[in-house]
Amino acid sequence: MVRRVTRRVRVGVTRVGVVACVGVACLVGAGRLDDTVAVFDFRADANAAASFRERTYPESPWVAGSPAVIDDARLWMPEDAEYRVVEGRELTIAQSSGYGRHFLLTLLLPRTRTESESAPWVFCYACTPRTLGSEYEVLSDSGVGFLFARRRS
Amino acid sequence: MTTRAILGLVIFNVFVLAVGAGALWGTRGWRWWTDFVRLAGLAYLLGLSALMILTTFELVVGIPIGFLTILLTGAGLIVLGVIVGRRRGFTAPGLRPPGWRVPGMSLFSALFVAGIVVYFEGLFRAQRLAGVGREWDSWANWLPKARELYVTGRLEPEFLLLVTSQSPGYPPGPATIQAAAFHAMGSADTVTLHLQYWFLAIGFVLAVVGLLAKKVHGAILFPLLLAFLVAPTVLDWIVTVYADLPLAYLVAVAALVLILWVEEGKAWQLAAATVLLSAGMLTKREGIAFGACVLLAGFVASFADRRRLWRPLVAAGLIAFALALPWRIWFTAHGLPGDGPELGYVGAFSHLDVVWPALKLNVDTLLDADLWRYVPVLAAAAIVLAGLAGVWRLSLYAGVFVLAAVGTGTWVFWTNPVAFNDEWPIHRYTGITVLVLAVLAPLLLARAWSAAQDSRAAAEPPGSDLLFRRSRVAWLVVLVGVGSHFGAMLVGYSGSGLPGGLPSSQGVSSCVAAPVADARVRVVVGYADSYPEAMALREQAHAAGLVDAQASQDGCGRVRVFVDDLPSLATSQALVAAAQAAGLRPTVERDPDD
């Protein structure tokens, strides 16, 4: 008798529990779908409105103002070029190369980074056009301390 | 971000499916093509896993990963699968079993299937033009490796040492797939790459649906799947070019197919779990930890049958690890640092004070309703209900997995205190546990429901016939979901910001504006792919009398050579004539500076 009652209670609790779980899932899934599609629509709008540069380059304080500089560099350097990354001492938002090194590595492939001081191309973080000296010709300047330059031959 | 890139991705993913079909044929075979359609999602994930394992092996032995290598690798897998299938006596499948008809679906299920279709349609629109601007790990780890593989076909130790955001020994699996996708798209298109993650997500959902279709009523399966898909954290990561959710797909489907093997004992199920777990180990370093959690749960759940099941389970674990081992041998042989814990395996014991915060962080994150919308809570309830209904094996399996995953997570955050620095590592780690729970929960609930019934007939859900009786008419509801966006466009509404028209490809044409009357214009002598080319073109323009010609970026990745600031279309004609006389092919555009 007790066994039968226990079983019936167990069966009842299980059935109610399963229905409750599915009910909650329905409420969450159906209830949030509208918001989810709205999020997708918002993203679709934002992505469609973004420019080529906004989609292609990272938004980062490490490379603030620099998509144009990186694009200039990509368009100046041949594919077998070697470039160097240096840091100046000008306190600006781009005071350190930080993640910028990763961005350059990814965006400029197959061009390669080198530590050699004789590298014909150079990126300078936390720099002004004077930092690199007359040995270099500045080809692109972000205006916030990030430069791209070519060694004068 | 072009139609050609999207088509390339479609072809690539069909190729992945074909590779997986070869693997599935070799291990399982199918009598009817209708069976294959049901298991297409699993085949897709198997194809992806097999490609990832083999291309990583090729990297290790020094075979460059190019378009041809990927094609031959996939073709080789297909041929191997066909040969093995033949040797195992599988005969050519028929189209469908005698008397087969399109399976019915309840109206209730159809509503949620339609919801999932709308979800993926919206996701496609959202991600088709998504940028990688804020995807830091992509920039710092995956994209450099993928682009290097795309350009050179290799990952040399010197290059890996430059990618310093992760240890140089970090598994390269996702980068090999991304590189293959670049080849399929025809360029290193980091924008359209997001759609590859859309395909992965669809493959995962189809795999789960196919594996559970005959075991779980749609009224349980589809609402739970949709509830998982709309979780805020899933929305954040589902098409981000990271490896967390791809790893979660592999681990979750492996966990599902492994418990099916424990219950049904079909060899192909264990083989599939082995391949998926191995690919997980090559996707992220956590793959090894989660593989161990799944296997541990499998051992505990099969304790009653240990004489029969433990030996093949041990073999599966060893094979999965062995398939991932060549990469570990390679980076160790090259003297590259490994991907072990930050504090070391022993050093962590001098930081025991971190254990409790690490455990609390794991548990709190798993139960955070704002992140997962109650999916883990539902799964926990499902585990309890299955246990209450006497479905011990499955309940134990899911329970042990959760405990093992939380335990492992505690160890991960204890031995890597830097992971406490922000909230993302724990969200991404926990997402894998949640995904496993999301695929086990429908099975747990279905088993609990069935066990609480007296007869099979009563195993149908409660409610009116109208909602729950299977009918082919319910497919019409799904069709409405399929056509919802196109329908909305037809009536003039579109949430995508592209009302009524076909989506634009947003290529270089977006940087060219047609001239309009009474607006300033510029004469464009031409576009070049580099400054040296542009300088040569500018010299030609100067020689032709366009002395004000200049060269600068067009904003779409090219250099424009042009004379700007012309007051009207009419004033541009003299310059156009001069350029044409010199053999140039000038065009006139609106000058947006106006």
pLDDT of residue B406: 96
Number of other residues whose CB lies within 10 A of the CB of residue B422: 9
Which chain A residues contact residue B560 at CB under 8 A?
Answer: none
Token look-up 């190369």 returns A97
pLDDT of residue B131: 82
Q: Is A59 on the interface with B (CB under 8 A)?
A: yes
Averaged over A120-126, what is the pLDDT? 90
CB contact at 8 A, B587 and B524: yes
pLDDT of residue B458: 47
CB contact at 8 A, B591 and B515: no
Task: Examine the domain organization and report whether B329 and B198 are in the same domain.
Answer: yes
CA dihedral (A117, A121, A126, A130) in degrees, to 10, reads 90
What share of chain B has pLDDT > 90, as a percent?
A: 61
Compare all CA atoms of chain A with the CA of B226 and give the residue at the minimum distance: A29
Averaged over B60-73, what is the pLDDT? 95
Radius of gyration of chain B (CA): 28
Residue B487 lies in a domain: no
Q: Is A38 on the interface with B (CB under 8 A)?
A: yes
Q: What is the least distance, in Å, from the CA of A71 to any CA of chain B?
A: 7
Compare all CA atoms of chain B with the CA of A21 and give the residue at the minimum distance: B378
Model confidence over B523-574: pLDDT tens digits? 999 999 999 999 999 999 999 888 899 999 988 889 999 998 888 888 888 8
B383: pLDDT strictly greater than 90:
yes
- How sure is the predictor about A65, in pLDDT bands with cuts at 50, 70 and 90? low
pLDDT of residue A89: 75
CB contact at 8 A, B434 and B377: no
Residue B17 and residue B461: Cα distance in Å, rounded? 34
Determine the residue among A4, A47, A121 to mutate to test chain B binding: the one whose Cβ has the most chain B Cβ atoms within 10 Å. A47
Residue B498 lies in a domain: no
Which chain A residues contact residue B147 at CB under 8 A?
Answer: 106, 109
Averaged over B172-194, what is the pLDDT? 93
Residue B209 and residue B229: Cα distance in Å, rounded? 14
Q: Which of B445, B506, B532 sits opposite A18 (nearest CB)?
A: B445
Q: What is the least distance, in Å, from the CA of A91 to any CA of chain B?
A: 24
Model confidence over B327-355: pLDDT tens digits? 999 999 998 887 777 777 777 777 788 88
> Which of B93-97, B118-122, B167-171, B442-446 tops mean pLDDT?
B442-446
Indicate yes or no: CB of A52 within 8 angstroms of CB of B556. yes
Indicate yes or no: CB of A22 within 8 angstroms of CB of B445. yes
Averaged over A125-149, what is the pLDDT? 88
Kindly state the tokens that stand for B313: 């389970």
Residue B16 and residue B43: Cα distance in Å, rounded? 9
Q: Which of A52, A68, A75 sits opposite B559 (nearest CB)?
A: A75
Q: Is pLDDT larger for residue B104 or for residue B152?
A: B152
Which chain A residues contact residue B530 at CB under 8 A?
Answer: 75-76, 78
Q: Which of B139, B225, B506 sits opposite A103 (nearest CB)?
A: B139
Which chain A residues contact residue B438 at CB under 8 A?
Answer: none
pLDDT of residue B501: 43
Task: Examine the domain organization and report whether B459 and B529 are in the same domain.
Answer: no
Averaged over A78-84, what is the pLDDT? 93
Q: What is the least distance, in Å, from the CA of B554 to any CA of chain A?
A: 10
Task: Examine the domain organization and report whether B356 and B217 are in the same domain.
Answer: yes
pLDDT of residue B498: 47
CA atoms within a 13 Å half-sphere pointing along the CA-CB vector of B225: 31
Q: What is the DSSP string of B541-582?
A: HHHTT-TT-EEEE-SSSSEEEEEEEES-HHHHHHHHHHHHHT
Which chain B residues contact residue A11 at CB under 8 A?
Answer: 389, 452
Residue A133 and residue B2: Cα distance in Å, rounded? 43
Distance of CA B215 to the CA centre of its chain: 25
Residue B452 and residue A7: Cα distance in Å, rounded? 9
Which ipTM score applies to this complex? 0.86
Q: Specify the amino acid at residue B298.
A: G
Task: Examine the domain organization and report whether B439 and B515 are in the same domain.
Answer: no
Task: Examine the domain organization and report whether B415 and B524 are in the same domain.
Answer: no
First and final C-alpha spacing in chain B: 29
Compare all CA atoms of chain A with the CA of B504 and give the residue at the minimum distance: A48
- How sure is the predictor about B454, in pLDDT bands with cuts at 50, 70 and 90? low
B449, B469, B489 — which closes off a domain? B469
Number of other residues whose CB lies within 10 A of the CB of residue B191: 23
Q: What is the least distance, in Å, from the CA of B155 to any CA of chain A?
A: 13
Tell me the domain boundaries of chain A: 2-49, 59-151
Task: Examine the domain organization and report whether B180 and B110 are in the same domain.
Answer: yes
Task: Examine the domain organization and report whether B353 and B443 are in the same domain.
Answer: yes
Indicate yes or no: CB of B132 within 8 angstroms of CB of A58. yes
Residue B476 lies in a domain: no
Task: Examine the domain organization and report whether B464 and B539 are in the same domain.
Answer: no
- DSSP 8-state symbol, B496: T
Indicate yes or no: CB of B553 within 8 angstroms of CB of A50. no
Averaged over A99-115, what is the pLDDT? 81
Q: What is the DSSP string of B135-171?
A: -HHIIIIIHHHHHHHHHHS---HHHHHH-TTS-TTS-
Residue B544 and residue B548: Cα distance in Å, rounded? 11
Q: Is pLDDT larger for residue B397 or for residue B594?
A: B397
- How sure is the predictor about B373, in pLDDT bands with cuts at 50, 70 and 90? confident
CB contact at 8 A, B511 and B555: yes
Q: Characterize B443-481 residue by residue with b for buried, 16 or more Cβ atoms within 10 angstroms of its Cβ, and e for exposed.
A: bbbbbbbbbbeeeeeeebbeeeeebbebeeebbebbeeb
Residue B207 and residue A36: Cα distance in Å, rounded? 23
Compare all CA atoms of chain A with the CA of B154 and give the residue at the minimum distance: A110
Residue B551 lies in a domain: yes
Model confidence over B463-520: pLDDT tens digits? 566 667 777 788 888 888 888 777 776 666 554 444 434 555 556 777 888 888 778 8
Q: What is the DSSP string of B269-321?
A: HHHHHHHHHHHHHTT-THHHHHHHHHHHHHHHHTGGGHHHHHHHHHHHHHHHH
Cβ neighbors of B325 (< 8 A, separation 6 or more) are none
Which chain B residues contact residue A76 at CB under 8 A?
Answer: 530-532
Range of the domain at B573: 510-590
What share of chain B has pLDDT > 70, as a percent?
A: 93
Residue B503 lies in a domain: no
Task: Examine the domain organization and report whether B357 and B433 are in the same domain.
Answer: yes
First and final C-alpha spacing in chain A: 100
Strand partners, B553: B559
pLDDT of residue B446: 95
Q: Is A153 on the interface with B (CB under 8 A)?
A: no
Name the helix (H) or strand (E) containing A112. strand A112-113
CB contact at 8 A, B372 and B434: yes
Averaged over B51-66, what is the pLDDT? 95
Which chain A residues contact residue B129 at CB under 8 A?
Answer: 44, 47-48, 50, 55
3-class secondary structure, B523: strand
Nearest C-alpha neighbor of B510 from the set B560, B569, B555, B566:
B555
Indicate yes or no: CB of A43 within 8 angstroms of CB of B497. no
Averaged over A125-133, what is the pLDDT? 86
Residue B387 and residue B452: Cα distance in Å, rounded? 11
Q: What is the CATH number of the domain that holds B516?
A: 3.30.70.1070
CB contact at 8 A, B93 and B25: no
Residue B389 lies in a domain: yes
Token look-up 């389970």 returns B313
A–B CB contacts, 8 A cutoff, strictly below: 210
Q: Which of B122, B139, B384 sits opposite A102 (nearest CB)?
A: B139
Kindly state the tokens that stand for A21: 């779980």
Determine the residue among A4, A28, A142 to mutate to test chain B binding: the one whose Cβ has the most chain B Cβ atoms within 10 Å. A28
pLDDT of residue B269: 97
Q: Is pLDDT larger for residue B140 or for residue B433?
A: B433
Q: Please write down the long-range contacts of B495-503, taking CB distance under 8 Å and 24 or more positions apart.
A: B495/A37, B495/A38, B495/A40, B495/A41, B495/A44, B495/A45, B495/B122, B496/A41, B496/A44, B496/A45, B496/A48, B496/B125, B497/A41, B497/A44, B497/A45, B497/A48, B497/A49, B498/A44, B498/A48, B503/A48, B503/B125, B503/B128
Model confidence over B9-34: pLDDT tens digits? 999 999 999 999 999 999 999 999 99
Q: Which of B123, B125, B140 sits opposite A102 (nearest CB)?
A: B140
Q: Is pLDDT larger for residue B9 or for residue A113?
A: B9
Which chain B residues contact residue A41 at CB under 8 A?
Answer: 122, 125-126, 495-497
Kindly state the tokens that stand for B141: 């780890």
pLDDT of residue B518: 78
How much of chain B is helix, strand and coil, in % rounded to 5? 70, 5, 30
Q: Is A96 on the interface with B (CB under 8 A)?
A: no
Structural domain count, chain B: 2
Averaged over A78-97, what is the pLDDT? 75
3-class secondary structure, B338: coil
Averaged over B157-175, what is the pLDDT? 84
Q: Is A47 on the interface with B (CB under 8 A)?
A: yes
Residue B426 lies in a domain: yes
Mean pLDDT of chain B: 89
Determine the residue among A102, A113, A121 to mutate to test chain B binding: the one whose Cβ has the most chain B Cβ atoms within 10 Å. A102
Task: Examine the domain organization and report whether B411 and B517 are in the same domain.
Answer: no
User: Can you give the pTM of this predicted structure?
Assistant: 0.90
Indicate yes or no: CB of A13 within 8 angstroms of CB of B388. yes
Residue B189 lies in a domain: yes
Model confidence over B256-289: pLDDT tens digits? 999 999 999 999 999 999 999 999 999 998 999 9
Compare all CA atoms of chain A with the CA of B553 and give the residue at the minimum distance: A72
- For the ranges B119-133, B166-180, B448-462, B557-571, which has the lowest average pLDDT? B448-462
Which chain A residues contact residue B557 at CB under 8 A?
Answer: 52, 56, 71, 74
Averaged over B50-79, what is the pLDDT? 96
